[in-house]
Amino acid sequence: MPNHRIYINISYFCAMETQRQKKIGGVIQKDIADILQRAATDGGLKGTLISVSKVSVTTDLSIAKIYVSIFPATKGKELLEGIKSNQPMIKHELAQRTRHQLRRVPELLFFLDDSLEYIDGIEKSLKGEENPVKNPDLLEKRKKS
């Protein structure tokens, strides 16, 4: 039987981030949070809090996954669609802010971070307000994105 070599495609998003990835992720996180919050207040969305909970950058620094947390959560999906539709303008603003730190701004992919809602659902069930043992449909299944 011949010797077969198996090549495994290494994922772009490594479990262990390099110092460079962490540094660029931190710079992007700070600036994107400022850009989004400023856009929300200028757009007349008073009382809406937008925060960037996490930024993951690929090993080749070409893609940045940005997890956005929005309060109140009822406006989350609507605002995320607005953010995605304005992605080129956000990327341009980020490029202006980071022109001395980054040569090339990575492609920005925005995702809604629903971890606070999930934690709230768990706390309600632990307090006894809603019992997931009696009604398992109360807690939604977590989706991997």
Task: Select from 73, 56, 75, 74 the least CA-distant residue to 65.
Answer: 56
Q: Does the structure show a pLDDT above 50 at 9? A: no
Q: Cβ of 126: how many Cβ atoms within 10 Å?
A: 10
Count of domains in the chain?
Answer: 1
The CATH number that applies at residue 37 is: 3.30.300.20
**Per-residue confidence at 94, pLDDT binned at 50, 70, 90?**
very high
In a domain, 52, yes or no: yes
More confident residue, 16 or 63: 63
Directed axis angle between helix 76-85 and helix 87-97, to 10°? Answer: 70
What is the rounded distance in angstroms from the CA atom of residue 10 to the CA atom of residue 32? 28
Structural contact between residues 125 and 139, judged by C-beta atoms closer than 8 angstroms? yes
- Taking only the tens place, the pLDDT of each residue in 12-60 is 444 687 899 999 999 999 999 999 988 888 877 777 888 899 999 999 9
- Taking only the tens place, the pLDDT of each residue in 105-116 is 999 999 998 877
In a domain, 51, yes or no: yes
In a domain, 108, yes or no: yes
pTM, entire model: 0.71
Domain extent for 61: 17-113
Kindly state the percentage of the chain with pLDDT values over 90.
Answer: 37
Q: Which residue has the tokens 């090339």?
A: 104
Average pLDDT on 1-17 reads 54
Give 116-125's long-range contacts (Cβ < 8 A, gap of 24+): 116/69, 116/71, 116/73, 117/73, 118/142
Q: Does the structure show a pLDDT above 90 at 124? A: no
pLDDT recorded at residue 7: 47
In a domain, 132, yes or no: no
